[in-house]
Chain A
Amino acid sequence: MSEPPLGVAVPETRLHPIYLIIGTAKTLRQAIPFLLVTIFGGAPWWVNAALFALVMGIAIAQWHVKKYSVVGGVLLLRSGLVDQSVRVVPVAKITALSAFQSVTQRLVGVWGLNVQSPGDRNGSAVAIECLSGRRLDELRVALESAGRTTVLTNTKPGPGPSTIQRYLAWRRTSVASVPADGLQVIAVLTTVEMLIAAVTNSATSLVLLAVLVVWFRFSEYLPVRVSEFMEIVEPEGVIAVLITLAMVAILAGVVLGTLRLHRFTLIRDGDVLRNSRGLLGKQAATIPVVRVQAVRIVEGFWRMLLGYCSLQVEIAGIGRANISQRMLFPLVRIDRAEALIRRALPELPWPGDSLLVLPVRVHRRYLTLPLEYAAGFTLLMLFLPGWWELLAVLPLPLGYVLGVARAREARWRVDDQSVVLRWRRLLNRNTVIAHRGGSQLTELSSSPWKARAGVAGFKMRFSSGRGAGIRYMVDSDALFLLHTVGRASARKSAHAIANS
């Protein structure tokens, strides 16, 4: 990115005073052990009052010292009472901004802002908790201005509609794809799609697993009346229990999904992508397009059967921990995914030719690992009691099917601008479309057995901390990818050589 603007874009500002309540609650939470001792230990009332006053005092002092500013193209966050700390994030290094509003914050009308930068894959580089709508807008304008506009010293935001206002104005209309002032609505998640996304989300499976465990562990403690009722109604027995638990899991998945994905909206605003979502708590993220290194198309098992997929972006700093932040769009029909990506990110190059499949002689290699695991599971299942032992017949066929699917679905293509890799992990099929020079690190893996069979693995890693790779491919192809992917362009190389 170009040089950040100099000068004071945002002067030293304290957080919204509501932070006093949030800070007090936070300090009270930390002081719970002491409070338990004083309350249940029979201490006089004034000791508890003094403790509470101390907690309040700490919260006020923390609010007083915690200040943020944007000066000389750098975001500064000062905090700490005893150990004072200053967190410094150059604006030019910011890879994404994510504004959020929990239910509590929404009730009192404040926002939080996560500022993401490279090299911090497990969370935000800086999180600013309590900002009023106006302050949030002011800060976002200052942080988004790097390389785009010059923020003048001590100027107030212009009279035009704020980002949040623009969101709200747009959301009230539902008119799609009308570019106005560089603002283009790319896609909006409909209610039906949201429900499909919620039901097919992995959270539903996890909830089902949890309720199954809870049921089989604690069902014996049910009251007698409930047990008798369960014997009366149809269907009864294990099937009824399973149907009920599945419905509970689906309901929980729908509730969670609705809270998280309600009215997911993707907007292209000049050189940034914006999204907003959420029913009770609100989230709005900003991603500079120039920071997007790759797009990942994820086809989960159920979604693939229904003809849907989800889209994710690879951005520095947003790695495995931030599933929701890396989401480009949660659910789209597979045949429309390419069109959506092309509209949202026209800068992302697509390969002109079709993807290359692996030669048949490599397919056999894909059977090895699943069958080894399957053999292990088969042995373990032989120790299961009673009829459960019969489950041992499943792993080997499933392992074989997985191996065949992995071999048949693995594809790749590289050209002057882009690289595409497709592979299956277990249930999900992933396709990554990346700038050819977008990866941080490329790896070729081999072993004596692979070398003898003339195969090798290739993997590329992104600054998000995630990777894309094909486990087995023809070794010359893997070597070719190692030579072409991730390397600086010829012009850059020449520049580097000249400098060295």
Chain B
Amino acid sequence: METTASPPAAGELSAVPLAGDLPSERHRLPARVTRYWRWRAFYGSLPLLVLLISGAIALPWGPWWVRWGIVGVVVAVTAASMLILPAIRYRVFWYAISSTEIDVQSGIIFRKRSVVPMHRVQTLRSERGPIGGHYRMTNLKIRTAAGSVNLSGLDRGEADELCERIGRLTNLADDV
């Protein structure tokens, strides 16, 4: 089985295009999703910030510059998560759905393109928190037996439609 190199096999098999291969099939998230991600990052880091600032003021551990240095780092990361990252994430993210698979690209610096065969989808879970409710946003988690793919920041109507469509398409024989 182990032999030396031979030419790459690309082309030997007929590779059917994926849903996301056609740029026209790629769906992007609504533009307001960046505001949603910003506020979610802010509220997500708020408890930690409050805790660290309270600790830096009230607890006498270590030199002052260490305490406030940690606070500064967390503030910088939060600021980056609010100001820089949402725009990059928005530009990178797309999803495409065909009758046979779900094709998703996500990431910020390290990009990941995931393909979930439609017949492998086990469950769909949509989540909507108070911030998502304010922006009419829904997070959709597509679960397989091996892991899940997240579509974070879908328009509410679009998410409902996707749930209905994927639910209909996955009604196939199970062979996990």
Residues of A within 8 A of B (CB): 1, 93, 95, 118-119, 290-291, 316-317, 338, 350-351, 353-357, 359, 411, 413-416, 437, 439-448, 461-465, 467, 474, 476-477, 480, 482-484, 486-488, 490, 492-493, 495-497, 499-500
How far, in Å, is A414 (CB) from chain B's closest CB?
6
Instruction: State whether B9 touches A480 (Cβ < 8 A).
Output: yes
Chain B contacts of A484 at CB under 8 A? 13, 15
Chain B contacts of A490 at CB under 8 A? 16
Q: Which of B3, B113, B122 has the most CB of A within 10 A?
A: B113
Query: B1-41: contact bitstring with A at CB < 8 Å (1 yes, 0 no)?
Result: 11111101111110111100000000000000000000000
Chain A contacts of B10 at CB under 8 A? 476-477, 480
Given contacts A355-B2, A439-B146, A463-B146, contact A496 B169 (CB under 8 A): yes
Chain A contacts of B120 at CB under 8 A? 440-441, 486
Instruction: State whether A496 touches B114 (Cβ < 8 A).
Output: no
Q: Which of B116, B119, B145, B171 has the most CB of A within 10 A?
A: B145
In the complex formed, the residue of A with least CB distance to B15 is: A483
The residue from B17, B110, B114, B116 contacting A447, defined by CB atoms under 8 A apart = B110
8 pairs of residues in contact across A and B, judged by CB atoms under 8 Å: A413-B9, A446-B112, A461-B147, A462-B146, A463-B145, A464-B146, A477-B8, A483-B16
Q: How far is the CA of A416 from the CA of B169 in the complex (A)?
A: 25
Q: How far is the CA of A374 from the CA of B66 in the complex (A)?
A: 28
Instruction: State whether B117 touches A486 (Cβ < 8 A).
Output: yes
Q: Is B74 an interface residue (CB 8 A)?
A: no
How far, in Å, is B47 (CB) from chain A's closest CB?
29
Q: Is B118 an interface residue (CB 8 A)?
A: yes
Given contacts A447-B109, A476-B10, contact A493 B100 (CB under 8 A): yes
Q: Is the interface of B mostly helix, strand, loop or mixed?
A: loop
Instruction: State whether B145 touches A496 (Cβ < 8 A).
Output: no
Q: Is B134 an interface residue (CB 8 A)?
A: no
Q: How far is the CA of A447 from the CA of B110 in the complex (A)?
A: 5
Instruction: State whether A354 touches B169 (Cβ < 8 A).
Output: no
Chain A contacts of B116 at CB under 8 A? 440-441
Q: How far is the CA of A354 from the CA of B111 in the complex (A)?
A: 31
Q: Is the interface of A mostly helix, strand, loop or mixed?
A: mixed
Instruction: State whether B113 touches A441 (Cβ < 8 A).
Output: no
Chain B contacts of A477 at CB under 8 A? 8-10
Instruction: State whether B144 touches A354 (Cβ < 8 A).
Output: no
Q: How far is the CA of A416 from the CA of B15 in the complex (A)?
A: 11
Known: A1-B175, A350-B1, A444-B112. 11 other contacts (CB 8 A): A354-B2, A356-B5, A414-B9, A415-B13, A416-B13, A440-B147, A441-B114, A441-B120, A463-B144, A467-B146, A477-B8
Cβ-closest 3 pairs across A and B: A463-B145, A354-B3, A440-B146
Q: Is B48 an interface residue (CB 8 A)?
A: no
How far, in Å, is A452 (CB) from chain B's closest CB?
13
In the complex formed, the residue of A with least CB distance to B148 is: A441
Q: Is B73 an interface residue (CB 8 A)?
A: no
Q: How far is the CA of A135 from the CA of B24 in the complex (A)?
A: 60
Instruction: State whether B6 touches A316 (Cβ < 8 A).
Output: no
The residue from B6, B112, B172 contacting A354, defined by CB atoms under 8 A apart = B6
How far, in Å, is B78 (CB) from chain A's closest CB?
24
The residue from A119, A445, A486 contacting B115, defined by CB atoms under 8 A apart = A486
Query: B130-152: contact bitstring with A at CB < 8 Å (1 yes, 0 no)?
Result: 00000000000000111101000
Instruction: State whether B115 touches A487 (Cβ < 8 A).
Output: yes
Instruction: State whether A316 touches B8 (Cβ < 8 A).
Output: no
Q: How far is the CA of A476 from the CA of B9 in the complex (A)?
A: 10
How far, in Å, is B22 (CB) from chain A's closest CB?
13
In the complex formed, the residue of B with least CB distance to A437 is: B117
In the complex formed, the residue of A with least CB distance to B174 is: A93
Given contacts A93-B174, A447-B109, contact A441 B5 (CB under 8 A): no
Instruction: State whether A119 touches B110 (Cβ < 8 A).
Output: no
In the complex formed, the residue of B with least CB distance to A357 is: B5
The residue from B6, B99, B174 contacting A500, defined by CB atoms under 8 A apart = B99
Q: Is B176 an interface residue (CB 8 A)?
A: yes
Instruction: State whether B16 touches A487 (Cβ < 8 A).
Output: yes
The residue from B6, B115, B168, B169 contacting A442, defined by CB atoms under 8 A apart = B115
How far, in Å, is B2 (CB) from chain A's closest CB?
6
Given contacts A477-B10, A496-B118, contact A355 B146 (CB under 8 A): no
Chain A contacts of B172 at CB under 8 A? 492, 495-496, 499
Chain B contacts of A415 at CB under 8 A? 9, 12-13
The residue from B8, B111, B118, B149 contacting A474, defined by CB atoms under 8 A apart = B8
Chain A contacts of B15 at CB under 8 A? 480, 483-484
Instruction: State whether B147 touches A465 (Cβ < 8 A).
Output: yes
Instruction: State whether B6 touches A356 (Cβ < 8 A).
Output: yes
How far, in Å, is B128 (CB) from chain A's closest CB?
24
Chain A contacts of B118 at CB under 8 A? 488, 496
Q: How far is the CA of A291 from the CA of B15 in the complex (A)?
A: 26
Chain A contacts of B112 at CB under 8 A? 443-446
Query: B94-116: contact bitstring with A at CB < 8 Å (1 yes, 0 no)?
Result: 00000111000000011111111
